[in-house]
Structures are given as C-alpha cells and as structure tokens.
Amino acid sequence: MTDSLAWFGAANPARRVGRAVEHHAEIGSTNDRARELLSSPDGEGVAVVADLQTAGRGRRGRTWVSPAGVNLMVSVALRPDVPPELSSLLGLCVALALRSACSSVAPSAGLGIRWPNDLVDGLGRKVAGVLIETVLADGRLAEAVIGMGINANWQQEEMPPEIAAQATSLLELAGSPVDRVDLLGHLLDALDGEIQALERGESPIERARAVSWLDRHEVEVDLGEQVLAGRVAGLGDDGSLLLDAAEGRLALAMGEVVRVMDAAPARVSS
Ligand code: BTN
C-alpha cells in the first residue's frame, strides 16, 4: 500500500487540476469528498485519491468495485469556465487525459475511447471509467466533479468473473506493476491541459475521433426506454454517438452501449 506522504508527490501547485492531493486509506466515494472540498476556500482542483472506496459509484447508478490498494481512484471538483457549446465535450477531455496517462505505461496496448468516455484496450476491454457529476446554471457548467477509476495493478485472476470477462488492467497490458503515484501525476498533468484547452474554446473532438474505438462496430444502445441497434458511424461535433440505424443516421447524446456484436461483450461496469 502506498502511504499518504508518497501521494503528495503527484501534486503540483503550478497546476489548477491536482495542485494538491488528499489521500484516504478508506472513504465512501472520492466524488463526494471532492464535491465537499469545493465549498472550502482552497478546495477547487484538489485531487482526492483513495485506496478503498466503500461506496464507489459508476455511471447509471452502478457500483464501482475495486480491491484495496490496487487501482487508482481519484476525483477532482472544478468550477470550469467552459463555453456552453463545448460543455458536452468535458467527458471526452477526461477520457483523452486518461488515455494519455495510461498509454505512458502501456504504449502498445492500442488504447481507445469507447463512447461516451470509457478507456478500452484494442480488444475493447475496459481499462478505466469516468463518472462526471455536474451542476448547471443558466445553461453553463457551474460545477463538475470528475471521478476516474483506472484498473492499474489488478490481476485478471483476482477480478470477479463478470468483470474479468470484459476488463483488463495496466498491469496485464504492460506486463509489470504500475507506480500509481507516477500514473496520478501524469493524469493530473494531462487533465489540467485538457481543461485549459476546453476553457480556451478548443474542441477535443478531432483527437477523440482519432481514437474512437466503437467506429464501424455493430452495436446495441440502451436509451432507457428502448434499445436501438445499428452501426457506429463516428462521433458528432458535440460528442454524440452517430448511429446508422433502421431509422437512418441518429445522433445519440446519451445512452449505454450494451452490446458490441462483432467484438468481446461490451463492458458496462467494473
Ligand atoms: C463507470 O465507468 O461506470 C465510471 C466509473 C467511475 C469510478 C470512479 S472511482 C473514483 C470516483 N469515485 C467514485 O465513486 N466513482 C469514480
């Protein structure tokens, strides 16, 4: 287990994202703690990292499972000043930052982004997930709590079977253990850069398109009230999933890819 002092090595006061690091051996959810910090004077941008979450959350109300001291679980809360037309692209910025950090330890894994913002290896197995909880005011992003979970040093045989079938880890991909503090430092550098670019009005969409894993796959997308089948045609300018379905080309702003017909089963949680 990495001690609290070592985690401070990933902090950098020159950055807005991760200018300080707060480490917890155990916590409910790092997202909740990061949100709490936003109401204290210096809390914006503090990276909250935990060895164990007792109430870790995934997207769509799912649980995020991770054994103690093995993976990287971190949240940062921000009041970003993002042009409203770019706010739907925040998730892709986070996924690109995750890709940059994870590619630094597993450069030949062919890491890609699976819409909306999962990080997957070349075979579509999940390496990292993103949970962003936002507050909107007058159509603008007022607050964003950005939670990231990376399967870092999780051995495939230690994963619960339902996760092992659809996930992998940097340890498996790189063939050796990952230094989680170094990984966090790289992630915070990359995320800081992505947020700054978005605030300057620069869209990440072309960079996201270049690494979009779902393109050309036949998929099923759960929209809550119906499941749509179709072929993925790419990403729209706003980060939506372009799906060629029986109805024609659709731009899906929300939804969950629950099946990829011509690949390993789509991983929906870890
Ligand atoms: C998903 O893929 O469903 C999103 C998973 C996000 C998990 C991370 S771990 C750190 C942060 N705290 C949480 O409770 N969730 C996120």
**Tens digit of each residue's pLDDT, the chain (270 residues):** 677 889 999 999 999 999 999 999 999 999 999 999 999 999 999 999 999 999 999 999 999 999 999 999 999 999 999 999 999 999 999 999 999 999 999 999 999 999 999 999 999 999 999 999 999 998 899 999 999 999 999 999 999 999 999 999 999 999 999 999 999 999 999 999 999 999 999 999 999 999 999 999 999 999 999 999 999 999 999 999 999 999 999 999 999 999 998 764 444 343
93 plus 182 within the same structural domain: yes
**Domain-ending residue, one of 209, 236, 252:** 209
CA distance 168 to 148: 16
Give 131 Cα–ligand 1 centroid separation in angstroms.
Answer: 5
204 and 223, same domain (yes or no): no
- The torsion defined by the Cα of 13, 16, 21 and 27, in degrees rounded to 10, comes to 160
- Residues near 202 by beta carbon (within 8 Å), at least 6 away in sequence: none
Nearest atom in ligand 1 to the alpha carbon of residue 148 is 8
Assess whether 137 and 222 both reside in one domain. Answer: no
- Tokens at 88, concatenated: 């739907």
Q: Is there a domain that residue 267 lies in?
A: no
108 and 232, same domain (yes or no): no
What domain count does the chain have?
2
**Residue 53, ligand 1, Cβ within 6 A:** yes
Query: Does the C-beta of 130 come closer than 6 Å to ligand 1?
Result: yes
CATH of the domain at 249: 2.30.30.100
Task: Give this prediction's pTM.
Answer: 0.95
> Does residue 229 sit within a domain?
yes
| 228 shares a domain with 186 | no
61 in a structural domain: yes
Do 239 and 129 lie in one domain? The reply is no
CB-based contacts of 190, cutoff 8 Å, min separation 6: 96, 97, 98, 100, 101
Residue 160's identity, in one-letter code, is P
Range of the domain at 255: 215-260
Whether residue 18 lies inside any domain: the answer is yes
Q: Is 57 in the pocket of ligand 1 (CB under 6 A)?
A: yes
CA of 249 relative to ligand 1 center, distance in Å: 31
Kindly state whether residues 125 and 252 are assigned to the same domain.
no
Q: Indicate if 170 and 221 belong to the same structural domain.
A: no
User: In this predicted structure, what is the pLDDT of residue 1?
Assistant: 66
Q: Is there an atom of ligand 1 within 6 Å of 73 CB?
A: yes
Q: Give yes or no: residues 198 and 243 share one domain.
A: no
- C-beta of residue 190 within 8 angstroms of C-beta of residue 96: yes
Do 225 and 115 share a structural domain?
no
Residue 267: the pLDDT is 40
**Is 270 inside any structural domain?**
no
Q: 10 Å Cβ neighbour count for 69?
A: 13
| Residue 145 placed within a domain | yes
Are 23 and 132 found together in one domain? yes
Shared domain for 196 and 226, answered yes or no, is no
The per-residue pLDDT for 45 is 98
